[in-house]
Amino acid sequence: MKKSVKIGIVAAIAAMVAAPMVPAAATAAPASTTATKSGPTSIAYVEVNNDQLANVGRYQLANGANAFDVAIIFAANINWNGSKAVLANNTNVQATLDNAATQIKPLQAKGIKVSLSILGNHQGAGIANFPTQAAATDFASQVTATVTKYGLDGVDLDDEYSDYGTNGTPQPNSQSIGWLITALRAQMPSKLISFYNIGPAASSLSSSSSTIGSKLDYAWNPFYGTYSAPSIPGLSKSKLSAAAVDIQNTSQSTAVSLAQRTKADGYGVFMTYNLPDGDVSGYVSAMTQQLYGQAATYH
């Protein structure tokens, strides 16, 4: 099972759009809401080719706390420029970043973290085939520059759609993902680094040193509608999501079951994907009742 919506969208838009200057309003860090909740950290991926990131902030629990804790912009790409991996944003990702004042900062004002997902673009470049530590560090610097420029809270790493070997690129190696995570953590010591547990990078992390895994904040199951926790040395249950929910394609009853199991088994993260525009508070509420004991409303 793969991401049901990603393949056609991400493959279709490969060109990088030049990034205009960020509005001054996007540089402030407003205070968060005072309402709190007890339970797993809730993740919401948003396909910004189709839907608005800002919609994540419209879901609240009965006590006013956020239904979602981390919003992930899906997705920037790793392109190949003929000699190295380069970070590239399609038109809609770039528009989301450029409109930080309306798409990103309102979420952060509520206390919701905003990360940028990055994944391959069928050009042979990805997070699993950096040939040297220097190459991984160079790409980490590109990511860090984007996170800093747009005031983001972190990055999400996804080892899909790279088509390793295309354009004469190297095949994956066991050290690449560790080099990248280490460089990102050194450059962004206080930012989130999450991992979508799939691909050659996942295989490498599963047998890597706990020193590498401990540099991650979160990792999650990549197969929607299923329940299977990643096995990454250095990451405890409090940082893992065994559940994976595609809000537009996983049945509500399955989502409820996965939420129940998450709580019962003591996992600290609950990952959802594909939050659409508009009000789906019935579906979201069914999950939050299990995760936090509260219904969710849409404002």
Residues labelled as active-site residues = 160
Contact between 26 and 150 under an 8 Å Cβ cutoff? The reply is: yes
- What is the C-alpha separation between 54 and 96, in angstroms, rounded? 9
| Residue 160 phi, psi (nearest 5) | -130, 155
The DSSP code for 270 is E
Hunting for tokens 């009742």 — which residue is that? 289
Burial class (CB in 10 A: 0-12, 13-18, 19+), 242: buried
Quote the CA–CA distance of 243 and 56 in Å, as a whole number. Answer: 19
Tokens of 108: 């952060």
88 φ/ψ angles, rounded to the nearest 5 degrees: -135, 140
